[in-house]
Structure 1
Amino acid sequence: MKKKCLLLICLGIWACEDIFEKDIRHKQVDVLAPPSGLETTRTTLTFVWNPLKGASDYRLIVVSPAFKWIESYLLDTVVETCRFTLDLPEGEYEWTVRGLNSAYESRDTISFFRVISPEEGGTEP
């Protein structure tokens, strides 16, 4: 009887670890590219961020010109990796990425950038 109870307790603890997710609600994803404030003539951009401990997926949203005044909702996708490539026309954009797991979402990290014409120049090297 004692062995059965001990086995059930051990199985219960093991099962609970699989069920409980890390609470990431107060964390933010560290974005790498494109950096906030970038002005670029490139129309193909790769969005890159550092992995967030406890996140299994990431929700990436791109809007134009800004979240406070959305004229175009260009992208809303969930990805498993820490990068996503997107073609964009000239314009102003804001993007956000948040970490996800089966129970929680992290806080948004919002960045802005502009895709400009080659005549306007740009801040890229």
Structure 2
Amino acid sequence: MKAQFLIIILIASTMLTGCEDIIEVDNISEERVKLLAPADDVISNSTTISFSWEMIEEADAYQLQVAKPSFEEAIEIVTDTTSSSTRYSETYSEGNFEWRVKALNSAYETEYTTHSFSIVQEE
């Protein structure tokens, strides 16, 4: 009986000390992604739009979404991508768009930050 009790204690203590490898993940949920380009409400003559935003130190990736004409009245989500980069370029047709970015890590995510832009091609 004593031997079984000792074995149980040894197994339990081994399991508890093995938890040292658990990595604590930084909570980024209160952070805010700062959008750099395109500026809010910008009107572009170019159909190629280059997006950029500031890095959040503890983020592993960023989710970029672009909606036409807006997220509230979306006819189409034209871009929905996740990347570790803080830059992304895409070609769009004429029209009004909203774009938003949120930061992600393995346990947390920020709220989206949203801007809008329009593409008007010169005739």
TM-score when normalising by structure 2: 0.82
Alpha-carbon distance in 1 for matches of 2:24, 2:40: 34
Structure 1 runs of 4+ off > 6 angstroms?
none
Does residue 90 in structure 1 map to residue 94 in structure 2?
A: yes
Q: Distance in 1 between matches of 2:24 and 2:68?
A: 37
Residue 92 of structure 1 aligns with an amino acid whose one-letter code is N
Q: 104, 113, 120: which one pairs with 1:116?
A: 120
Please point out which of 37, 52, 56 is paired with 2:60: 56
**1-side partners of 2:70 and 2:61: how far apart?**
24
Percentage of identical aligned residues: 31
Q: Are 1:65 and 2:105 an aligned pair? A: no
CA shift, 1:53, in A, is 1.7
What's the C-alpha RMSD, in Å, of the aligned pairs?
A: 1.8
For the pair shown, the structure with the greater C-alpha radius of gyration is 2
2:35 aligns with 31
Give SS of 1:66's match.
Answer: coil
Gaps of 5+ in 2: 1-12
State the SS of the aligned residue for 1:62.
strand
Q: Which runs of 5+ in 1 are unaligned?
A: 120-125
Corresponding letter in the other structure for 1:75: T
